[in-house]
Structure 1
Amino acid sequence: MSRRRIGQQSLRFSDVGSVASSLDRLSGLIDWTPIEVVLGDIYMAAKGEPAWPPLVLFKAMLLAVWYDLSDVKLSEALDDRASFRRFCGFSAQEATPERTAFVRLRKVLAERGLDKALFDEVTRQLKAKAIRVKTGTLVDATIIASARRGDDEARWVKHKGRKAVHGFKAHVGADADTALVEQVFITPANVNDGKAGPAALPDDPGDVFADSAYRGDHFNNAVRAKGGTPRVIITHVWSSAQDAKAALAYLDAHNRSIYRVRGRIEKIFGTWKRSYGLHRMRWCGLAKAAVQVRLTAIAYNLKRTLKLLAQPA
């Protein structure tokens, strides 16, 4: 089984269009060797053709997230954008993959569940670079519409005051200080947040900030088992008529401090949906939904870390 060798021609680009971009900084942000190891035994090629290196295709798929590109548009952009070529390792003149190469890689990632291994490795490296004293974790979920209503692994969900959505749900745990995503778990949209919440908890989560959907022993016990402290929105407290005013004051004070912190996770979801095209799944099935969400989380974490490292200490 042969693989293509890329970058064998001169990697020098003409001065026109070769201005350094954020992609050059992103390329040097992590060590890609462990990523290559995770992808190492993948071999995908059209019949009779050498296979593209899987790391090259993975990096190209990150470009698709950052620039909200379909497989077709990604293939076209790789063909003529110098910054895209440099990021993936192509020289100025050599051929680049057709869209079917990305389809094949995505299929393998979904079948083998490698999206989680890739997310874990990239996140491990990024957390080491953006070292902060961990004080807490944000946990929440967001609903993402299915690629089409015929996706029989998606489910309908209806929230009060909102239109029903057919799709999936991404359950996310993020660092409360850096806003780096640490855990991702994907389910059909009708799965209860509190039930799936424990799968979104990182180790040693600190104070865990969550909305009222996470009330109950199932989630709270999982937080404590991880060594954390649940900080969950409450909707009512019991009190006598005489103590009603004091009870309301307690409820307001308790919830205000949590709202102020947990609201940060909405910015993560906003970036995913507005900038990275995650308002709708591109492909059908739970496994491919997981690939899309985790690729989005990897792409987000890389850009977020670049921003953190640019800030004054």
Structure 2
Amino acid sequence: MRGSDERAGSLFSYIDLEARVRGDHPLRTIRRIANAALSDLSWAFAALYTDFGRPSIAPEKLLRAMLLQAFYGIRSERQLMERLEFDLLFRWFVGLGVDDPVWDHSTFSKNRDRLLEGEIAAKFLLAVLAQPQVKRLLSSDHFSVDGTLIEAWASTKSFRRKDGSDDGQGPGRNGERNFHKEKRSNETHQSTTDPQARLYKKGDGQPAKLCYIGHALMENRHGLAVGGGISQATGTAERETALALIDGRRRGRRRITLGADKAYDVERFVHDLRDRSVTPHIAVDGHLSKTGTPRKTAVDGRTTRHIGYDISQHCRKRIEEIFGWIKSSAGLAKVKLRGRDRVDAAFTLALAAYNLIRLPKLLAAPA
């Protein structure tokens, strides 16, 4: 029999959000781990708020909403608030009841900025990794590192001379500009929109863009991100940040391995790793010079002769999965925040979100 297309209205509705989310939904595992990590950060949240004034949005709810924004690739706070208004799954995950009002998007943004400025994202990533069920999944001996460009929320038209001599070019707010034969560099020019973004290109033949560099340190057992952050775009930023990530991760002097691509095959960097008891499992940069002579690599046979080197070279490529998810699913191919600190917080939270979406399957797999 054909069903009716009429909507059956009712005076009252008794909806149990907990019953509406199926028992095997991945967000159940994610929410349990996230709540445990947020509970461990209660002291950090307390330091951001005073004991008087009007109550603000609970930081735990704020952060869970930001995780949903990364999970589902929601491009704006307006759209996130709209989803929270009618999506029961979103309300359950954040901790809102069916009758609870949704926040205004501007209120959400202001409260979110307080978390971004309080280094909560980095602490949350560490708190997730410190959970007992997550910690047993991590390798403590074998790691990989890499960097990727994160395009800044600034137009190339905003890249103007620091002395202001070209401010009058082009009528209107977004007037035309002719960059032909104009020499522009980070020493003489700066973005008026995001002064901390730098003009940079990844390699020959690539366009130069205003951007930052996002870094990730990955453990090789399951490919989870154990560290990362944002730096200004320079030719040495990837190697300098890699050393900082290793120093921040290590406890003691036990020898570990670090896989990386050809950009890290620099003699000074390899020596710095060996001084830290880190075996450099770095891809050999053997390109030919203009005279046809192969480039001298800093990685010698002491490292490449072992089978562990080949294993690390195979595992290190999984770090591209992290960057691919952050840029495509989490929407950070072009970040919608300005300033290095805020971009760093958004990128680090995206690393934590990537780990969380991987955990339901990893925890369900047989040991």
TM range (shorter): 0.7 to 0.9
Among candidates 258, 263, 274, match of residue 208 of structure 1: 258
Q: Deviations over 1:227-264 (max 9, x none)?
A: 321111222399xxxxx9xx9xx8xx778655422111
Q: Which runs of 5+ in 1 are unaligned?
A: 1-9, 239-243
Local SS of the residue matching 2:343: helix
After TM superposition, the structure 1 = structure 2 runs for residues 222-241 of structure 1, keeping only pairs within 5 Å, are: 222-236=272-286
Q: Are the equivalent residues in 1 in contact too, given 2:265–2:285 (CA < 8 A)?
A: no
Q: Deviations over 1:267-294 (max 9, x none)?
A: 1111111211111111111011011101
Distance 2:287 2:321 in 1: 30
Name the CA shift for 1:257/1:12 in 2 (closer, same or farther; >3 Å): closer
Q: Are the equivalent residues in 2 in contact too, given 1:174–1:183 (CA < 8 A)?
A: yes
Rg (Cα) greater in structure: 2
Name the CA shift for 1:291/1:14 in 2 (closer, same or farther; >3 Å): closer
Q: What's the offset of the Cα at 1:11?
A: 7.8
Q: Does 1:61 align with 2:66?
A: yes
Q: Equivalent residue for 1:139?
A: 145
Name the CA shift for 1:185/1:220 in 2 (closer, same or farther; >3 Å): farther
Q: Equivalent residue for 2:182?
A: none
Q: What's the offset of the Cα at 1:215?
A: 2.4
Name the CA shift for 1:180/1:235 in 2 (closer, same or farther; >3 Å): same
Among candidates 94, 99, 110, match of residue 100 of structure 2: 94
Q: What's the offset of the Cα at 1:100?
A: 2.1
Q: Equivalent residue for 2:198?
A: 155
Among candidates 195, 199, 204, match of residue 244 of structure 2: 199
Q: Are the equivalent residues in 1 in contact too, given 2:62–2:112 (CA < 8 A)?
A: no
Among candidates 97, 114, 125, match of residue 120 of structure 2: 114
Q: Which runs of 5+ in 2 are unaligned?
A: 1-13, 156-192, 289-293
Q: Equivalent residue for 1:171?
A: 215
Q: How many residues align?
A: 289
Distance 1:301 1:37 in 2: 23
Q: Are the equivalent residues in 2 in contact too, given 1:137–1:205 (CA < 8 A)?
A: no
Matched AA of 1:187: S
Q: Does 1:23 align with 2:18?
A: no
Q: Deviations over 1:83-129 (max 9, x none)?
A: 11111111111112222233223322343333222222222227744
Among candidates 311, 323, 327, match of residue 273 of structure 1: 327
Task: Provide the identity percentage.
Answer: 25
Q: What's the offset of the Cα at 1:174?
A: 0.5
Q: What's the offset of the Cα at 1:135?
A: 4.0
Return the structure number with greater helix share: 1
Instruction: Say what the alpha-carbon RMSD is for the aligned residues.
Output: 2.9
Q: Equivalent residue for 1:13?
A: 17
Name the CA shift for 1:41/1:80 in 2 (closer, same or farther; >3 Å): farther
Distance 1:62 1:14 in 2: 19
Name the CA shift for 1:221/1:115 in 2 (closer, same or farther; >3 Å): farther
Q: What's the offset of the Cα at 1:71?
A: 0.7
Local SS of the residue matching 2:56: coil
Local SS of the residue matching 2:41: helix
Among candidates 284, 304, 312, match of residue 358 of structure 2: 304
Among candidates 110, 117, 125, match of residue 104 of structure 1: 110
TM-score between both structures, scaled by the size of structure 1? 0.82
